């Protein structure tokens, strides 16, 4: 995995250098800060998506979760006038609960992750549209929450707080995934769930925990995204955002088969994805091609993963053949 991460880092530097040569504005402080802000906003939930993919699952409902939790968060602040820390806690709990529901349906009811989260994609957005009567939820003119706005959309020493939050969460996820027993269980379940179960791992709890973490990070991200946009149209807010998370994870080396991936890779994948999006904007390419870029990125990532798998299998087979050839003379000698 280290080779993949280094290769991705080199690719980021090369693409960044090319973009800077094409358009020097890429390296301007304003553009770098804006790009860092977007990396933080989209990277937060990409970490949760990556954990789910490592278990061999997928979450297609994240974008709709943003729409539902976003309109509820605005309503709690504007209509019910709750203190923002309480409203934030409610949204975080709701995101965690949605993750738990996904995990329960997948592990206890034995439903496919694709089916469960696809139904969630439709269900949560439908509820959000009904909740607002298909209207737009937003803050009133002149209404502000200084502390909340500073924490979510502010900057310290020129660095966006969303990016800082992303780095902090990524460090915590790195410890969880690569330095804990739970992380080893995640990889074991992703590689072979049945073998992991026979080895004594409670695979259901491990998979459910991955979806709970993903839901909690989606709840956290929904607050940042709500304060970033300040108004939410439930019919469009968060549309296809799950693709950003999947693309970042796949670019970062997470195999859709499960059992592979690193937090560093997901972070680098989120960075590369936003650099590519920035390239599209700086070159004046129509924004309608953004999804085409994402689709191409996911396809290239899957193709690269497949080629890497076949290359690794050939190397393993070659070593086994060499070992068998080395043993043959000694057997004949006897």
Q: What is the mean pLDDT of the chain?
A: 90
Domains and CATH numbers, the chain: 2-14+36-283+290-306 (1.10.3470)
According to DSSP, the residues that pair with 137 across neighbouring strands are 232
Instruction: Please name which of 48, 75, 68 lies closest in space to residue 120, comparing C-alpha atoms.
Output: 68
Q: How far is CA 312 from the centre of its chain?
A: 26
Q: What are the pLDDT digits (tens) for 73-105?
A: 999 999 999 999 999 999 999 999 999 999 999
Strands 159-160 and 137-138: unpaired
Percent of the chain with pLDDT over 90: 66
1 pLDDT higher than 70: no
Name the more confident of 144 and 141.
Answer: 144
Instruction: Please name which of 35, 12, 53 lies closest in space to residue 189, comparing C-alpha atoms.
Output: 53
Distance CA 253, CA 2 (A): 10
**CB 274, CB 42: distance < 8 Å:** yes
What pLDDT does 330 receive?
Answer: 53
Contacts of 272 (CB under 8 A, 6+ apart): 8, 11, 12, 15, 251
Choose the most confident range, by mean pLDDT, from 18-32, 55-69, 130-144, 289-303.
55-69
Q: What are the pLDDT digits (tens) for 9-56?
A: 888 898 888 888 888 888 899 999 999 999 999 999 999 999 999 999
How confident is the model over 264-280, as a mean pLDDT? 89
59 pLDDT higher than 80: yes
What pLDDT does 332 receive?
Answer: 46
Residue entry with tokens 């073998």: 195
174 pLDDT higher than 60: yes
What 3 state SS string does the chain have?
CHHHHHHHHHHHHHHHHHHHHHCHHHHCHHHHHHHHHHHHHHHHHHHHHHHHHHCCCCCCCHHHHHHHHHHHHHHHHHCCCCCHHHHHHHHHHHHHHHHHHHHHHHHCCCCCHHHHHHHHHHHHHHHHHHHCCCCCEECCCCCCCHHHHHHHHCEECCEEHHHHHHHHHHHHHHHHHHCCHHHHHHHHHHHCHHHHHHCCCCHHHHHHHHHHHHHHHHHHHHHHHHHHHCEECCCCCCCCHHHHHHHHHHHCCCCCCCCCCCHHHHHHHHHHHHHHHHHHHHCCCCHHHHHHHHHHHHHHHHHHHHHHHHHHHHHHHHHHHHHHHHHHHHHHHC
What pLDDT does 295 receive?
Answer: 78
According to DSSP, the residues that pair with 41 across neighbouring strands are none
Instruction: Please name which of 94, 93, 95, 74 lies closest in space to residue 84, comparing C-alpha atoms.
Output: 74
> CB-based burial of residue 96 (10 Å sphere; 0-12 exposed, 13-18 middle, 19+ buried)?
buried
How confident is the model over 248-262, as a mean pLDDT? 89
């Amino acid at each position: 995995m280290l080779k993949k991460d280094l290769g991705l880092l080199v690719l980021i530097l090369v693409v960044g250098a090319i973009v800077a040569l094409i358009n020097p504005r890429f390296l301007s402080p304003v553009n770098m800060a804006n790009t860092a802000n977007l990396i933080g906003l989209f990277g937060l939930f990409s970490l949760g998506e990556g954990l789910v993919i490592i278990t061999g699952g997928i979450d297609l409902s994240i974008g709709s979760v943003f729409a539902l939790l976003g309109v509820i968060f605005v309503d709690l602040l504007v209509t019910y006038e709750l203190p923002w820390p309480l409203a934030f806690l409610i949204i975080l709990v709701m995101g965690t609960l949605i993750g738990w529901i996904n995990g329960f349906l997948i592990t206890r009811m034995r439903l496919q992750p694709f089916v469960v989260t696809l139904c969630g994609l439709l269900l949560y957005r439908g509820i959000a549209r009904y909740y607002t009567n298909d209207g737009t939820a937003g803050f009133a003119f002149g209404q502000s929450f200084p502390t909340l706005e500073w924490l979510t959309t502010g900057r310290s020493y020129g660095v966006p707080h969303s990016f800082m939050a992303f780095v902090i969460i990524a460090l915590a996820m790195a410890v969880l995934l690569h330095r804990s027993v739970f992380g080893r269980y995640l990889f074991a379940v992703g590689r072979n769930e049945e073998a992991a179960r026979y080895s004594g791992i409670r695979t259901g709890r491990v998979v459910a925990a991955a979806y709970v973490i993903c839901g909690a990070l989606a709840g956290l991200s929904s607050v940042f995204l709500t304060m970033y946009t300040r108004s939410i149209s439930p019919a469009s807010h968060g549309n296809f955002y799950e693709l950003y998370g999947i693309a970042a994870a796949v670019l970062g080396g997470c195999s859709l088969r499960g059992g592979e991936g690193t937090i560093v890779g997901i972070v680098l994948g989120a960075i590369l994805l936003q650099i590519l999006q920035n390239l599209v904007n700086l070159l004046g390419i129509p924004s309608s091609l953004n999804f085409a870029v994402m689709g191409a990125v996911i396809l290239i990532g899957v193709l690269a993963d497949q080629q890497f798998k076949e290359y690794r299998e050939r190397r393993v087979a070659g070593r086994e053949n060499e070992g068998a050839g080395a043993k043959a003379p000694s057997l004949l000698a006897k």
